[in-house]
Amino acid sequence: GENVEQHPSTLSVQEGDSAVIKCTYSDSASNYFPWYKQELGKRPQLIIDIRSNVGEKKDQRIAVTLNKTAKHFSLHITETQPEDSAVYFCAASQGSSNFGNEKLTFGTGTRLTIIP
C-alpha cells in the first residue's frame, strides 16, 4: 500500500518569512496530492491540491510542487502570517479515476508556528 512521509514534524518561522513542508510517497499509481490545514480542535480543511499531470499550482500565498519522477511534493507558504499557525498534513491517493482506490493516505503532519 501507499506510504507517505512528511518532514519536518515541527517548523517555526518568523512572520513574513517562507515555510516549506516536504512529503514523499511510495506508490507510483498515486496521482492526487492534497494538503490539509488543521487548527486546534477543528476538522482538516483542504488548502490546495495537485494532480499528477501538473508540476506546480499556486493559490495566492500558497503553492504546491510535484516531482513525479522522484515521488515527492512540497507545500510552500510565502509571507507567513500568525493565522498560518496550524498542523499541516499532506496526503496521496489514486484519485476518483480509480474507483475503489480513492482513499487518502496521510503524512504524519507538520506543526507550523509563526513567530510574530
Task: Please give the residue ranges that form the binding site for another protein (CB under 8 A).
Answer: 1, 32, 34, 42-46, 49, 51, 89, 93, 95-96, 99, 102-109
User: At its nearest, how many Å lie between another protein and the CB of residue 26?
Assistant: 15
Q: How far is the CB of 6 from another protein (least distance, A)?
A: 8
Cβ proximity to another protein: between 29 and 46 the closer is 46
**Closer CB to another protein, residue 15 or residue 54?**
54
Q: How far is the CB of 108 from another protein (least distance, A)?
A: 5
Question: Which lies closer to another protein via its Cβ, residue 25 or residue 89?
Answer: 89
CA 41/CA 72 separation, integer angstroms: 29
